[in-house]
Amino acid sequence: MARMDRSLADPDYVDDNHWVNKARRLFEETQRSFGLEDARAFRSVASILANDLGQMRVRFDPQHYVVPSPYRDDNSILWHHEEDARDEQQTLSTPRSTPARANASESFSSSATQEVTPQAELELSRTLHPEWHHHLGLWRRDWCTVVEKVPATTSANLSVGRPLLHHTFSPVSLHRVRRLSRRQRLRRQWEGEDIDLNAAIEVLVDRRLGLEPEPRLFMRPGRETGTTRILVLLDLSESTNEPSGMHGLTMLDVEKQAAFMLVEATIQTADSVAIHGFNSNTRSEVSYYRLLDWEDTLDGDARERLASVPARHSTRLGAAVRQATVHLQAQPGRHRGLLVVTDGAPSDIDVFDPDYLVEDARIAVQQANRAGIRTFCLAVDPAADRYVRRIFGWRNYGIAADVSQLPVQLQRAFVRLAAG
């Protein structure tokens, strides 16, 4: 902000920052077109620049913020001037223009959209979770509030061309996952990784007796039975609204399609998949959306919930992982896994240390592993290795450099978790 302030005041100042140069360019263009008296035009410039800061996830710390060059701020915006009052009065008395008939259909369309009252999000529960402070080496008890929700669904949000309702990708097919069990050993096998000692002793006895020995001397792991329950946790932060570069879809659309296709592919198997999502707006509001639970049927309501969930705010991953762990611990059976899909490092607007939420997420993943839940992360970020490895550990993550590969990568991650 200080560099932008200087660039606007000093024409000879040179800065290499794109945002600072963009601010100077927009300011000069607006000044040439409207002059310095049109506050509304400069408000548009400020909105564009503020939106850019939000996209860059630049945090604002109100406790330590100091206004740059305060001697140039005369606070004139706080004063009520007579001329402004007269201008405002004239504006209010100006009759409204009648819209042209050519826009009649467009006006009807927009008014029809406004008449649809969206259903409010249904809040299910509020849960307090601790958070790990890695610098102090202690827990912050009841630090984060996780708000479980069901997203609002309206017919206006679900048009026929909704990408989720009509697949853009080819369907995936899952073969039955074969889980090997070290507790169940198959004896007297033709081949295997271990020697069957009982069979080997019988071979020696048969040789002493002059009998033909049995050649099946090996043991191999048996197949473990049981249902695998996997929870797919989607990152629903603001960054997933960015275009994916394919078919006009956003990253969020591709996430939803990939998760939905995975659920469709597991219908014919013994395994079960749930889809939840999360975003955060400071520690006091970590939104946790239950889009599809294990016992839910894949009907139109499930499609609507998944299609209508919004992407906004930030990515407080640790709190979401703890909430997902609670749900997985309540599921029967021993085969449970958490599959996180994200596009960036954990962050939030009330946290200024870039390592703080990464370390908290790492501790949350360790807690899930100790609870008997396998974890895996699929990151759609070419630079994800630096933080995903710290959080999930070696070989417990995958990186999809191309978003078009997300459905296939998600299938592979599921098979890996289900195989145990």
111 in a structural domain: no
DSSP annotation string for 106-134: HHHHHHHHHHS-PPPPEEEEEEEEEEEET
User: Do residues 305 and 314 touch, judged by C-beta distance below 8 A?
Assistant: no
For residue range 29-76, what is the model confidence (pLDDT) as tens digits?
888 888 888 888 888 888 888 888 877 777 776 666 676 666 666 566
Domain boundary among 97, 116, 140: 97
For residues 299 and 207, give the distance between their C-alpha atoms in angstroms, rounded to a whole number: 65
User: What local confidence, expressed as pLDDT, does residue 329 receive?
Assistant: 95
User: What local confidence, expressed as pLDDT, does residue 172 receive?
Assistant: 52
User: What local confidence, expressed as pLDDT, does residue 185 receive?
Assistant: 67
Name the domain count of the chain: 3
Q: How many residues does the chain have?
A: 420
Residue 118, pLDDT above cutoff 60:
no
Strands (E), 251-322: 272-280, 286-292
Taking CA atoms, 178 is separated from 147, 173, 342, in Å, by 37, 15, 27
User: What local confidence, expressed as pLDDT, does residue 159 receive?
Assistant: 41
Do 188 and 252 share a domain, yes or no? no
Do 302 and 217 share a domain, yes or no? no
Do 312 and 403 share a domain, yes or no? yes
DSSP H/E element including 378: strand 374-379
109 in a structural domain: no
Instruction: Provide the residue range defining the domain that includes 25.
Output: 2-97
Which amino acid makes up residue 418? Answer: A
Do 207 and 287 share a domain, yes or no? no
Provide the 8-state DSSP code for 314: B
Strands (E), 162-209: 180-189, 194-195
Quick one: average pLDDT of 289-302?
88
Do 134 and 256 share a domain, yes or no? yes
252 in a structural domain: yes
* Count of other CB atoms within 10 angstroms of residue 399: 16
Residue 99, pLDDT above cutoff 70:
no
Looking at residue 365, which CATH number applies to its domain?
3.40.50.410
The fraction of the chain above a pLDDT of 90, given in percent, is 33
For residues 389 and 366, give the distance between their C-alpha atoms in angstroms, rounded to a whole number: 13
Do 22 and 52 share a domain, yes or no? yes
Helices (H), 61-167: 82-93, 104-115
- When computed from its CA atoms, the radius of gyration of the chain, rounded to whole angstroms, is 29
- Which of the listed ranges 101-110, 178-187, 396-405 does the model predict with the highest average pLDDT? 396-405
For residue range 151-161, what is the model confidence (pLDDT) as tens digits?
987 544 444 34
For residue range 234-274, what is the model confidence (pLDDT) as tens digits?
999 999 998 877 777 889 999 999 998 888 888 877 788 99
Do 168 and 295 share a domain, yes or no? yes
Do 235 and 363 share a domain, yes or no? yes
Structure tokens at 369: 């592993």
User: Do residues 179 and 336 touch, judged by C-beta distance below 8 A?
Assistant: no
Residue 206, pLDDT above cutoff 90:
no
Q: Angle at which helices 251-265 and 300-308 pack, to 10 degrees? A: 150
73: helix, strand or coil: coil
